[in-house]
Amino acid sequence: MQKKYLKHKAIRLLPFLAIILPITYVICFAFLSFAPLLYPNAAKQIQEKYEKVIAEAKKSDTHLLAISPEELLKTENTLVIPILGIEMPISDEDANIALHNGIWHDGRSSTPLLSGNTVLSGHRYYYSWLGGALNRANYSLYHLDNLEQGDLILLIWDHKIYRYFVTEISEIDTNDLELLQETENAQITLYTCTPLPVTNYTKRLVVIAK
């Protein structure tokens, strides 16, 4: 008798859930979509922090910069995209752990120290209810599509600073492993999910910088 009662009650809840769940998703997505607006001065702050490095990068003929500001070299491996206000730690850990804390370095790829193709990825946004919007790592690459050819990307890696300039922006299928192909010359391949809203991960937005 009790089972029938519970089953009947569950059936009665279905219409309610069918309405409330989509509404909850829309609210969470909207909040997370506008979360980057919580940091309106991020780009300005990052550009000021890395002012000397940016100036050196623009006139340097090599990826490895001669400048070594002591306060920056104390930090962990870090991805910096000044124009987007991005400054995120890079990790070789398990992908899920790394992405929830910043940027993941795909261990199958190279590193700046070894030249070749260094592959990095980050969340476009991660749907984790309203609290997820308070963690910037959940949308670290939200504005990656705003990058243009020639934009500067910096990597702090093993206490050295490397500079790259965006050369290519494209979209590929999620199962396309072309982005992992090794290259003779130094480059970084940065990717995230697309299009927005990201619900089924049909594509990858790929940015190549050399």
**Average pLDDT value for the chain:** 82
Is 87 a member of any domain?
A: yes
Of the listed ranges 3-7, 63-67, 140-144, 155-159, the one predicted with least confidence: 3-7
* Tens-digit pLDDT profile for residues 51-81: 999 999 999 999 999 877 776 666 789 999 9
**Quick one: residue 76, left, alpha or beta (phi over 0 = left, psi -120 to 50 = alpha)?**
beta
Domains held by the chain: number: 1
**Are the CB atoms for 162 and 113 separated by under 8 Å?**
no
Is 25 a member of any domain?
A: no
Q: Is pLDDT of 115 > 90?
A: no
**In this structure, what CATH number is given to the domain that contains residue 188?**
2.40.260.10
pLDDT level of residue 200 (50, 70, 90 thresholds): low
Is 44 a member of any domain?
A: yes
Q: Which pLDDT score is estimated for 6?
A: 44
Selection from 3-17, 123-137, 150-164 with the highest mean pLDDT: 150-164
**Torsion 35-77-151-145 (CA) sign:** negative
CA angle 200, 176, 120 (to 5 degrees): 85
Residue of higher predicted confidence among 149 and 97: 149
Is 7 a member of any domain?
A: no
pTM of the model: 0.80
Average pLDDT over residues 122-130: 69
CA angle 170, 172, 177 (to 5 degrees): 120
* Tens-digit pLDDT profile for residues 15-31: 655 666 566 556 655 55
* Tens-digit pLDDT profile for residues 94-105: 988 898 889 999
Pairing of the two strands 160-173 and 203-209 = antiparallel
Q: Which pLDDT score is estimated for 29?
A: 59
Q: Is pLDDT of 196 > 60?
A: yes
Is 127 a member of any domain?
A: yes
Residues of the domain holding 77:
34-209
Residues 6+ apart with CB under 8 A from 77: 89, 90, 91, 105, 155, 156, 157, 158
Average pLDDT over residues 154-165: 94
Is 3 a member of any domain?
A: no
**Torsion 162-166-171-176 (CA) sign:** negative
Q: Which pLDDT score is estimated for 88?
A: 94
Is 195 a member of any domain?
A: yes
Q: Which pLDDT score is estimated for 22?
A: 62
Q: How much is the CA Rg of the chain, to the nearest whole Å?
A: 21
The β-bridge partners of 160 are 157
CA angle 77, 81, 84 (to 5 degrees): 140
Q: How far apart are CA 201 and CA 52, in angstroms?
A: 38
Is 10 a member of any domain?
A: no
